[in-house]
Amino acid sequence: MTSLLGTSFIGSTRSSGTNSCGQGINPATGETLAPEYFSATPEEVEQAVRLAADAFPAYSAIPGKQRGAFLRAIAERIEAAGDEIATRGPKETGLPEARLRGETGRTCGQLRMFASLVEEGSWVDARIERAQPDRQPLPKPDIRSMSVPLGPVAVFCASNFPLAFSVAGGDTASALAAGCPVVAIAHHSHPGLAEIVAAAVIMAADETGMPDGVFSLLYGGGRAVGQSVVKHPAIQAVGFTGSRAGGTALMATAAARPQPIPVYAEMSSINPVVILPGAFAKGEETLAEAFFGSLTMGVGQFCTNPGLVFLTEGSGDAFLAKLKSLVEAGAPGTMLNAGICKAYQESSSSIAAVSGVETLARSSADCGHGQGAPAVFSVSAKDFLANEELQGEMFGPATLVVRGSIDDITAAVSALEGQLTATLHATEDELAANEALVSALRNRCGRLLFGGFPTGVEVCSSMVHGGPYPSTSDGRSTSVGTMAIHRFTRPAAWQGFPDAALPAELRNGNPLGIKRHEA
């Protein structure tokens, strides 16, 4: 059982900061939760980053099998804290126990997925071009390359995945797998969960002999403590999930450093769903029920929530009628924190005032403390195109239906900001007949779905959970799946090196037995 102290982890040492940065708050009741939390001091922030920098040479040189053992030990320690997580989590986040237990499983699964990746070792993408001393007109040198870790990484914990995108979530797992120490910044929404998980990481580091400083967790908020971590010259990359304002602020900070560094920020996405008439043959009401399930899952607080639906004029009346009735009867749910609830109430109220927008339905139930309720709005494709603000994220269970001709819909999709996902419901004939629309959807998103709904992100090697700006700050990568490891690496080449001085991955005898590109 972790006894909650309310202090940061400066490597394996607990902070002595005395400035309060608040307590956990039960979003369902407004009740504060013990203990009080204290900000890391500026000296402790410096110490945490220095420890990470000092740990980097040793940690990055640790063989993949040992790094894998560390990741597996973290998963075991988190699983051992499963009951504590399931007790504290619902109080801090308003999420049900079953969701938190499921997310614990996903988090541990992610850690083990990266463990398998680094234990096997081929992920480094080793490339070997041997010397050709007799080549004319010039000899060819021996050049070998592979991915190497960047250095210490700052990870901002997300509010909406208090485990899977938080202290030991995807960003931490992929950075640690790559060989990068992590300095995590706790989210004020779930400080107790953060402390339980950080204690698990520190215990695992100790048990598996990792250098002190391989992991730290700092309290005190993103704007104060997080900004100073990102400004620190030893930090080499940033992982973030949250608001567009927060993500772009961190991008600006990282770009203004004497040495700019990459920021992988997942920010705002409204995940368009296009339904062409043929898709309704399977049953308009059934499709509306499935859509409503995706819209309201987790009170709509998923980055892949379907916040925009395109329908062609004259189709989908029964779909809309069913959706309206589901929304009217829809129950409100407790949102993650007061700030997110307020932002949802504001965004789902202000959209109704935009020219051409009609409120199709709102839940008829009264919202209790901290709750958000489903809502559906509609607008013509022409009005959607004329009002850029309609592309804003309503982070919660609200969606906007846009109706127009295929050409109007194609134009509206082409004008969309970058998205994590886009979904097309159509027959295969419609798919083939609407190349311009499909190509516009493909260009605007990271993951294109044919049928189904975007919520529920599979964690696997082929997953892309990323997309053009502003869904992420850098659409060339993913935050879910094994490809995420490459966000925290860079390619490096060795030219003319003696075999014994090369990393094991690049030596002639291939002692690790990994897959390599050899010429």
If the CB atoms of residues 126 and 250 are measured against ligand NAP, the closer one turns out to be 250
Looking at beta carbons only, is 160 or 482 nearer to ligand NAP? 160
Q: Which is nearer to ligand NAP, 26 or 159 (CB)?
A: 159
Cβ burial of 139 (10 Å; 0-12, 13-18, 19+) is exposed
| Residue 428: DSSP 8-state | H
Q: Provide the minimum distance between the beta carbon of 463 and ligand NAP in the complex, in angstroms, as a whole number.
A: 15
Output the six-digit token pair for 31. Answer: 């009740």
Catalytic residue among 157, 303, 341, 445: 303
Q: Which helix (H) or strand (E) holds 13?
A: strand 13-14
| CB closer to ligand NAP out of 187 and 447 | 187
Handedness of CA 486, 488, 492, 497 (dihedral sign): negative
Give a three-class secondary structure readout of 195-217: HHHHHHHHHHHHHCCCCCCCEEE
CB of 365 to ligand NAP, least distance (A): 22
Nearer of residues 117 and 303 to ligand NAP, judged by Cβ? 303
- Write down the catalytic residue from 92, 266, 284, 417: 266
**Is 250 or 309 the residue whose CB approaches ligand NAP more closely?**
250
Name the helix (H) or strand (E) containing 341. helix 338-350
Q: Which is nearer to ligand NAP, 145 or 419 (CB)?
A: 419
Binding site for ligand NAP (CB under 6 A): 156, 158-160, 185, 187-188, 221-223, 226-227, 241-243, 246, 249-250, 266-269, 303, 339-340, 343, 393, 395
What is the rounded CA–CA span in Å between residue 55 and residue 11?
10
Report the 3 state secondary structure along 91-142: HHHCCCHHHHHHHHHHHHHHHHHHHHHHHHCHHHCCEEECCECCCCCCCECC
Give the integer Cα–Cα distance in Å for 394 and 160. 14
Q: Containing H/E element for 79?
A: helix 64-80
Beta carbon of residue 74, minimum distance to ligand NAP (angstroms, whole number): 21
- CB of 324: closest distance to ligand NAP in angstroms? 25
Kindly give the pairing relationship between strand 215-218 and strand 182-185.
parallel
Tell me how far apart the alpha carbons of residues 489 and 124 are, in angstroms, rounded to a whole number. 9
Using Cβ positions, the residue closest to ligand NAP within the complex turns out to be: 222
- Residue 117, C-beta contacts closer than 8 angstroms, at least 6 positions apart: 123, 177, 482, 485
Question: Could you tell me the smallest distance in angstroms from the CB atom of residue 154 to ligand NAP?
Answer: 10
User: Facing residues of 361 across strands?
Assistant: 376
Has 458 been annotated as catalytic?
Answer: no
Number of CB atoms found within 10 A of residue 478's CB: 27
Within 13 Å and on the Cβ side, how many CA atoms surround 333? 21
**Other residues' Cβ atoms within 10 Å of the Cβ of residue 462:** 9
CB 377 within 8 A of CB 359: yes
Q: Which is nearer to ligand NAP, 227 or 414 (CB)?
A: 227
Determine whether 388 is an active site residue.
Answer: no
Residue 261 CB, nearest approach to ligand NAP (Å): 14
Q: Which residues, 6 or more positions from 57, have their beta carbon under 8 angstroms from its beta carbon?
A: none
Backbone dihedral angles phi then psi of residue 334, each to the nearest 5 degrees: -70, 130
CB of 305 to ligand NAP, least distance (A): 8
Cβ proximity to ligand NAP: between 294 and 410 the closer is 294
In whole angstroms, the minimum distance from the beta carbon of 243 to ligand NAP comes to 3
Which segments of 208-337 does DSSP mark as H helices, in order?
227-231, 244-256, 284-296, 317-329
Q: Report, as residue numbers or ranges, the catalytic residues.
A: 266, 303
